A = this chain, B = another copy of it.
């Protein structure tokens, strides 16, 4: 273990083996993965319920991105904490993180124009990457 980061104790969030395992699994593989995939990837060493719980915590904390595939299943991906969007290849799943200040501004403007506050948004771009053509 040898962990030298004594912090966030009062909040009672413990860095357990299971949580580290889930985080490591996301770290190790690129792209989006479902809770079940991660559970299998860990060989069942971490209970499915725990995987779900951990993933939800990580997503709430902003450490991972959560989105839904076409079947409505939740998929997670480790990514930078900054706000960004994804450019995903339909064929191979290769993903590029992109930023668009202009889009952020546009969404805020549109929302304000219609009297909406507390604005958030989701934006995903799909295409076929060079290697898949």
Contact = CB atoms under 8 A, between A and B. Distances in A.
Interface in A66-108: 68, 72-74, 87, 89-90, 96, 98, 100, 102-103, 106-107
Contact of A127 (B87, B117, B125, B129): B117
How often does this chain occur in the complex, in copies? 2
A128 interface: yes
A103 B123 CA distance: 10
7 contacts: A68-B68, A87-B114, A87-B116, A90-B118, A111-B125, A119-B125, A123-B124
Interface of A: 68, 72-74, 87, 89-90, 96, 98, 100, 102-103, 106-107, 110-111, 114-130, 133
